[in-house]
Amino acid sequence: MAEPATTRPKWIGQSMKRVEDPRFLRGKGRYIDDIRLPNMAVAAILRSPHAHARIVRIDTSAAERLPGVYAVVTGQDVRARMAPLPTFAVGPIYQDLLAVEKVRHVGEAVAAVVAENRYIAEDACELIEVEYEPLPPVVDPFAAMEPGAPLVHEALGSNVAYQRTFTFGDFDRDFNEADHIVRAKLRWPRSSGMPMETNGAIGDYDEGTGILTIYANSMNFTYFQWLIATSLKIPASKLRVVPINAGGSFGSKFFMHKVPTLAGFLSMVAGRPVKFVEDRIDHILNNDHCGSDRYYDVALAVDRDGTMRALQIKVVDDYGAYLQFGTGTHGNALAQVVGPYRIPSVQYELTAVLTNKNQQGAYRGFGSEVNNWVLERMVDFAARELGLDPVAIRRKNFIRPEQFPYRTPTGNIYDSGNYEGVLDKALALAEYDRWVAERERARQEGRYLGIGIVTAQERSVFSSTEFWFWFDQPGFPVTSSPESATVTIDPTGKFIVTLHSLAFWGNSPETVATQVVAEQFDIDPADVVVTYAASQRALPGTGPGGSRFTVMVTGALVGASGRLKEKIKKIAAHRLEVSPEDLEFHQGSVRVKGSPERALTLSEIALSAYMFKLDLPEDVESGLEASYTFDHPYTTLPSPDRKDLGVFYPFMGHACHIAVVEVDPETGQFTWHKYAAVADAGTVVNPMTLDGHLTGGTAQGLGTALYEEYVYDDRGQMLTASFMDYLVPTAMEVPRIDIDHQETPSPYTPYGIKGAGEGGRMMAPGVITAALEDALAPLGVRITELPITPAKLVRWIAEAKARGQAPTA
Amino acid sequence: MVEKRPVTVTVNGQVRQAEVEPRRTLADFLREDLNLPGTHLGCEHGVCGNCTVLLDGQSVRACLMFAVQADGHEILTVEGLVAPNGDLHPLQEAFWEHHALQCGFCTPAMLLTAYEYLQQHPVPGSDEEIREAIGGVLCRCTGYQNIVTAIRAAATKLTAAGPAPASRSVAD
Ligand code: FES
Ligand code: FES
């Protein structure tokens, strides 16, 4: 692989305007629902009204008779022609595209109608008669664990899909030796990415060739394309997945396969192209990815002086009715379980429970954002109980700059960091001392002003071991998570970059690629066009997720550029009669070092590479194109006893967020005084887009902290199935966010970049909780659950008052 | 099937006629019958505002209106913000310059909402007022901050450019 240039970068680090934007600004985004194929039909889904019921009978005849209906499909058709959907779960937890025999949650797909348009398809859904035999639902995960509880999957024999305790380091010694144990029960409820565009796909089966084309806004298609083919029982070579711009994902379109598989299947059944795009209610009830839904029992062992000794986490995670993505979201938590602190030992007990709810999957942070919230809560509780300053206790326990690369107790490595540097910048940016004085004054006046601070990690670039190190005998211990890029120079000297996953969900893959290639060849970014390969031509790719894409695609682009530059130099050296080592790339040409007048433009070289074979060195093929597949630059296997999980998430970003709020204890409403965030994501590729992730992620984290929750009642009915009840923050709720950066490059990645796509959502829930709690500290309110609604705040204040807590400073 | 009804609307300055079912939403009519896919559907129940278009200069949610209700009215969609020569509107330029979009899905609605606001307030008020003006359109990506910045920047450019933005009528 070529070395990144050692001179100061010209394009990396610039706030370049995004090359993706013009099409979206014009309303020509070509999202999935904008695409119409000739002869295309549209599908709608009939969903279960029951949380748990046996399907006794389905009568589709009236629906089939409706003019404009082309096909009606049920679980029986799926069972007859398809295999179950792919899953990371071990054990008999199978999921079919449409429910067979029984439904396991409200909103599970029961039948699909293919019709001339969506209106007719929905009319037809209403004509389908389904006879259900309701079964007792299991909604509460603790009730689900009781003996005799109704079973979500009878074949499993239990609703506990997974339970194991991992111990890292000399936990018993550290835990028992500590002066003090801080304990808390914490609750993080289910929410989800909720992109403004839902998930969608178009299937287009060609009976002539037997090739099924699926257009989809699903990420990672090169990673799972063959798994969909297996479900559909067609050869993977005959499934072509075409990536389509996604209107947001945040995890919701990560490895999203139910919708593409459905569109593909319906197209094969109906014999024509079929589009299925979820409406919002489809999405809320049955998307592939809800976020974590966890109940924690945590103990942090500390010495009197605040030194953290050991961390014990017992977590019950309510996964819903299926376990498609396994327990990888806890692998994420284990990647940075000790946060930025020197905690030498950890015990982690995970219980994964099945209930009659939609399945869990990915949401920005992938479960590690939950751990951030939990750990920062514990640190604040420790400070409170020990009478220490929340800044001081953090500072005292930080991993120090000279300790990197730092091996955490779980085995994961932190590559680099300077946590005090970030902290100091944040304190300055937030004018912390001024607000501390202001809080004093406010309290004397009887006002409830609070300051929150979190210092937390953002791991980046996952390795796939986190999906299976849970098991001693994993079913499929995959270790690859590559990304590829192809760089082509056309005969006129212009650049075409091909990406090999669906990389666009609102991030900037095309801008990143343009910046890296412009950097590598010293060319004008306007000369670069970026395209996406469909799966039949695509090289290995894993797509965006786990803040990996910028790091990984840069590695691929640097590699492909290196190969191409070598070829260009060979051609130029031959023509200029010098040796390749004497050549350098300079502003769109290749010139002889020291004699800049001896140069060839890239267009001259390109033309000869395509059209003048006899001018080329004999062993050089025609054309100018190179590809490179970049594998994870630093990952190792877990130990057989799983006391060491290996290196699986080593490029460790860090951030400090500080929030200042003022609460009205009568109404539970509050106002913002300040929100400041300083992040360290290694070398910054594009400060403007990085700030965008930080701001947008913070707004999402604010939603998690204050507003968003998937609420199921005790019968398993979904109470928040629309935007009337599931509250996404508007511009009125999100405060102004002040941002600063620190750059501590990674020693292991191209240009020292670390991922930062999950941005502010890693930190915002923690800092908002801390600020609100601090505001109400004089009343003795302790916050242990989200979302923090005004009604809950008022209740907690009343409870605290009833406990007779004397006001304290 | 219900009988179709004729609808005549002026969309982005062009008179368009079609026969539609009375139950067809304005959003589906624009997107599918008139081939203007820039109007996006985020919820189809009137909350997200991503389907916002301007009807006689007033923002409306195209998912909550039937096409037949628009009969005889003038509509501006995002496609109509672009000048006939293909140039971006100053608001679009400002959104690009200030990174006011990420996935771009809410962008058409944000642009039209901002356009309406600047028509009424060529000199925008405080950030809070701008936030209130766009409060009816949900964006899941940006956290809104850069949208506020972009609207203010566009206003400065538009007022500096001489004639008030109101001179850029629906038909130009
Ligand atoms: S799509 Fe019209 S308001 Fe959401
Ligand atoms: S830019 Fe994605 S929803 Fe606003």
pLDDT digits (tens, 9 = 90+) for A52-91: 999 999 999 999 999 999 999 999 999 999 999 988 887 7
The pLDDT value given to residue A1: 39
pTM (two decimals): 0.96
* Torsion sign over Cα A538, A543, A549, A551: negative
* CATH number for the domain formed by residue range(s) B90-161: 1.10.150.120
- One DSSP character per residue, A411-424 reads SPEE----HHHHHH
Backbone angles phi, psi at A61, to 5 degrees: -65, -40
B102 to A506: CB separation less than 8 angstroms, yes or no = yes
pLDDT at B165 over 90: no
Which of A572, A598, A630 terminates a domain? The answer is: A630
The verdict on the CB of residue B50 being under 6 Å from ligand 2 is no
Residue A695 lies in a domain: yes
**What single DSSP character describes residue A752?**
G
CATH number, position A505: 3.30.365.10
Q: Stretch B3-10: mean pLDDT, rounded?
A: 96
- A25 at interface of B, judged by CB pairs closer than 8 A: yes
- One DSSP character per residue, A58-86 reads EE-HHHHHSTTEEEEEEHHHHHHH-PPPP
A542, A436: one domain: no
A578, A606: one domain: yes
Instruction: Give dist(CA A761, CA B20) in Å, integer.
Output: 44
Instruction: Give dist(CA A350, CA A38) in Å, integer.
Output: 50
The pLDDT value given to residue A88: 83
A584, A670: one domain: no
A482 CA to centre of own chain = 17
Task: Decide: helix, strand or coil at residue A177.
Answer: helix
What is the tens place of the pLDDT at every residue in A582-614?
A: 999 999 999 999 999 999 999 999 999 999 999
Instruction: Give dist(CA A270, CA A266) in Å, integer.
Output: 6
State the pLDDT confidence band at A2, using cuts at 50, 70 and 90: very low
The pLDDT value given to residue B164: 45
The residue assigned the tokens 């360290």 is A680
The pLDDT value given to residue A545: 87
Q: Stretch A684-703: mean pLDDT, rounded?
A: 97
Residue A667 lies in a domain: yes
Q: Stretch A741-758: mean pLDDT, rounded?
A: 95
**What single DSSP character describes residue A217?**
-
A614, A681: one domain: no
Instruction: Give dist(CA A124, CA A66) in Å, integer.
Output: 7
Contacts of B96 in chain A (CB under 8 A): 17-18, 21-22, 25
Backbone angles phi, psi at A609, to 5 degrees: -65, -30
The pLDDT value given to residue A546: 86
The pLDDT value given to residue A131: 98
A214 bridge partner residues: A203, A241
Instruction: Give dist(CA A96, CA A19) in Å, integer.
Output: 40
CB A562, CB A2: distance < 8 Å: yes
Q: Stretch A255-271: mean pLDDT, rounded?
A: 95
Range of lowest pLDDT (A503-507, A629-633, A647-651, A725-729): A503-507
CB A508, CB A18: distance < 8 Å: yes
Backbone angles phi, psi at A393, to 5 degrees: -65, -35
CB A622, CB A736: distance < 8 Å: no
Contacts of B141 in chain A (CB under 8 A): 196, 248, 506, 692, 696
Which of B91, B97, B140, B149 is the best substitution to test chain A (most A C-beta atoms within 10 A)?
B140
pLDDT at A4 over 80: no
pLDDT at B28 over 60: yes
| Alpha carbon of A799: minimum distance to chain B alpha carbons (Å) | 34
The pLDDT value given to residue A5: 46
* Number of residues assigned to chain B: 172
| Alpha carbon of B92: minimum distance to chain A alpha carbons (Å) | 6
User: Exposed, middle or buried: residue B170 (CB in 10 Å: 0-12, 13-18, 19+)?
Assistant: middle
B51 CA to centre of own chain = 8
Residue A208 corresponds to which tokens in the numbers above?
Answer: 């002539």
User: Exposed, middle or buried: residue B89 (CB in 10 Å: 0-12, 13-18, 19+)?
Assistant: buried
Instruction: Show the beta-strand stretches assigned E in A75-119.
Output: 102-103, 109-115
Instruction: Give dist(CA A49, CA A109) in Å, integer.
Output: 10
A453, A488: one domain: no
Quote the Cα angle for A658-A182-A645, to 5°: 80
The residue assigned the tokens 């084309």 is A213
Dmax over Cα atoms in chain B, in whole Å?
A: 54
The residue assigned the tokens 């969909």 is A228
Q: What percent of chain A has pLDDT over 70?
A: 99
> Which amino acid is located at A55 in the chain?
I
CB A556, CB A486: distance < 8 Å: no
A678, A554: one domain: no
Kindly give the interhelix angle for A419-430 and A432-444, rounded to the nearest 10 degrees: 50
> Which amino acid is located at A697 in the chain?
G
In angstroms, what is the span from residue A730 Cα to ligand 1's centroid? 14
Give the number of the ligand closest to the Cα of residue B28: 1
Question: To the nearest whole number, what is the mean pLDDT of chain B?
Answer: 94
Residue A262 lies in a domain: no
Number of domains observed in the structure of chain A: 2
A404, A438: one domain: yes
The residue assigned the tokens 């909604």 is A139
Task: Decide: helix, strand or coil at residue A660.
Answer: strand
Residue A365 corresponds to which tokens in the numbers above?
Answer: 């942070």
Residue A710 lies in a domain: yes
B145 to A737: CB separation less than 8 angstroms, yes or no = yes
CB A757, CB A544: distance < 8 Å: yes
Higher pLDDT, residue A9 or A639: A639
Residue A193 corresponds to which tokens in the numbers above?
Answer: 């990415």
Kindly give, in sequence order, each residue whose CB lies less than 8 Å from that of residue A387, ignoring residues fewer than 6 positions away: none
Domain ranges of chain B: 5-80, 90-161
Q: Centre a 10 Å sphere on the Cβ of residue A99 and count the other Cβ atoms it contains.
A: 23
The domain of A656 spans 398-462+649-802
Q: β-pairing, A308-320 with A294-302? A: antiparallel
Atom of ligand 2 nearest to the CA of A247: 2
| Alpha carbon of B86: minimum distance to chain A alpha carbons (Å) | 9
A246 bridge partner residues: none
User: Exposed, middle or buried: residue A144 (CB in 10 Å: 0-12, 13-18, 19+)?
Assistant: buried
CB A138, CB A355: distance < 8 Å: yes
- Fold (CATH) for B5-80: Ubiquitin-like (UB roll) (3.10.20)
- A725 at interface of B, judged by CB pairs closer than 8 A: no
A796, A762: one domain: yes
Helices assigned H by DSSP within A153-220 = 171-177
**What single DSSP character describes residue A377?**
H
The pLDDT value given to residue A757: 86
Residue A647 corresponds to which tokens in the numbers above?
Answer: 């290196």
- B64 at interface of A, judged by CB pairs closer than 8 A: no
Contacts of A197 in chain B (CB under 8 A): 40, 42, 103, 105
Range of lowest pLDDT (A471-480, A518-527, B40-49): A471-480
* Torsion sign over Cα B134, B136, B139, B142: positive
Backbone angles phi, psi at A742, to 5 degrees: -130, 145
What is the tens place of the pLDDT at every residue in A164-206?
A: 999 999 999 999 999 999 999 999 999 999 999 999 999 999 9
What is the tens place of the pLDDT at every residue in A7-28?
A: 678 999 999 999 999 999 999 9
> Which amino acid is located at A671 in the chain?
T
Q: Stretch B71-78: mean pLDDT, rounded?
A: 98
Nearest Cα to A119, choosing from A31, A197, A41? A41
Q: What percent of chain A has pLDDT over 90?
A: 93
Helices assigned H by DSSP within A660-804 = 687-706, 764-775, 790-802
Instruction: Give dist(CA B70, CA A728) in Å, integer.
Output: 29
A658, A625: one domain: no
Which of A597, A630, A663 terminates a domain? The answer is: A630
| Alpha carbon of A744: minimum distance to chain B alpha carbons (Å) | 25
- One DSSP character per residue, B32-98 reads IIS--TTS--S-SSSSS-TTEEEETTEEEETTSSBGGGGTT-EEE-GGGTS-TTSPPPHHHHHHHHT
Considering just the CA atoms, what is the radius of gyration of chain B in Å? 16
A620, A660: one domain: no
A515, A595: one domain: yes
pLDDT at B162 over 90: no
* Angstrom distances, CA of residue A757 to CA of A285, A681, A690, A692: 26, 10, 8, 9
- B59 at interface of A, judged by CB pairs closer than 8 A: no
Residue A679 lies in a domain: yes
pLDDT at A708 over 50: yes
Backbone angles phi, psi at B58, to 5 degrees: -105, 140
A696 → closest Cβ in B38, B50, B102:
B102
Quote the Cα angle for A390-A677-A197, to 5°: 125
A610, A503: one domain: yes
The pLDDT value given to residue B1: 59
CB A47, CB A74: distance < 8 Å: no
**Contacts of A140-145 spanning 24+ positions with Cβ under 8 A:** A140/A355, A140/A714, A141/A293, A141/A295, A141/A316, A141/A317, A141/A318, A141/A353, A141/A355, A142/A295, A142/A316, A144/A353, A144/A354, A144/A355, A145/A316, A145/A351, A145/A353
A506 CA to centre of own chain = 13
pLDDT at A224 over 90: no
Residue A119 lies in a domain: no
Q: Which residues of B, range 80-119, sit inside 8 Å of A by Cβ?
A: 82, 88, 92, 95-97, 99, 101-108, 111
pLDDT at B76 over 70: yes
